[in-house]
Amino acid sequence: MTGCQNGSYEVKIMKRKILFSKETIDQRVRELADEISQEYEGREILMIGVLKGAFVFLADLIRSLSIPCEIDFTRLASYGAGTVSTENIVVTKKIEMPIKGRDVVIVEDIVDTGLTLTYLINQLKKERPRSLKVCAFIDKKRKRKIPIEADFVGFTIEDGFVVGYGLDVNEKARFLPDVYIIEE
Ligand code: XMP
Ligand code: MG
């Protein structure tokens, strides 16, 4: 794809419907950061961002916290569409910091089927964190296959494919400041 074609691709997305504007996101992220700061008052947390989708959310979230935090990242990949188990999920980038005895918050972009998050939680629990909670930017309800809920949720939607604010469609559109719904 040439740069020019890439450009028109982005324009197409930008003409779609804005689901959450930058202003709405900014406000909600500040509220979430307040919730987290209150919950862990007087402690230091370790936030684990799930790449790539959560990087923008994580960057905004940490700058609104009023408690100290450290940061690490992990990345997971799933293969085999339509799977109902976590067996087809692999870690493609491990966390690098020890989490034993730490208050850990996983920062995810989207919880959809719940398979990725369930796998990650099970892996991290083996390393004995003091506590383990999840903060998700978007909770998509309809396709959940495992009954798992994030502890802190930015926005809840039923379904639909969303992009922008770190979220991609074939690696495009992550840079957009607003969230767009490109498939209802
Ligand atoms: P599961 O189904 O395991 O997967 O909960 C969650 C992961 O799937 C990706 N995902 C999306 N990415 N727009 C995206 O850019 C979406 O609408 C969407 N829905 C799911 C996402 O990476 C998430 O971590
Ligand atoms: Mg993605």
Q: How far apart are alpha carbons 54 and 52 in whole angstroms?
A: 6
Given pLDDT bands bounded at 50, 70 and 90, which one contains residue 85?
Answer: confident
In this predicted model, what pLDDT tens digit does every residue of 19-52 receive, in sequence order? 999 999 999 999 999 999 999 999 999 999 999 9
Structural domains of the chain ordered from first start: 16-159 (3.40.50.2020)
Of 109, 163, 178, the one to substitute when testing ligand 1's pocket (max ligand atoms within 8 A of C-beta) is: 109
Q: What is the pLDDT of residue 16?
A: 77
Helix (H) or strand (E) holding 31: helix 22-39
In the reported structure, the alpha carbon of residue 168 is separated from the centroid of ligand 2 by a whole-number distance in angstroms of: 5
In this predicted model, what pLDDT tens digit does every residue of 125-155 receive, in sequence order? 999 999 999 999 999 999 999 999 999 999 9
| Whether the Cβ atoms of residue 70 and residue 47 lie closer than 8 Å to each other | yes
Atom index in ligand 1 nearest the CA of residue 76 equals 24
Phi-psi region of 91 (alpha: psi -120 to 50; beta: other; left: phi over 0): beta
When the pLDDT of each residue in the chain is averaged and rounded to a whole number, the result is 92
Q: What is the pLDDT of residue 145?
A: 92
Q: How far apart are alpha carbons 16 and 9 in whole angstroms?
A: 11
pLDDT reading at 164 higher than 70: yes
pLDDT reading at 4 higher than 50: no
Angstrom distances, CA of residue 138 to CA of 22, 116, 159:
14, 14, 10
| Whether the Cβ atoms of residue 56 and residue 174 lie closer than 8 Å to each other | yes
Q: What is the pLDDT of residue 81?
A: 61
Residue % of the chain over a pLDDT of 70: 89
Q: How far apart are alpha carbons 58 and 135 in whole angstroms?
A: 10
Q: What is the pLDDT of residue 2?
A: 38
Q: Is 159 a catalytic residue?
A: no
The pTM (predicted TM-score) of the whole model is 0.92
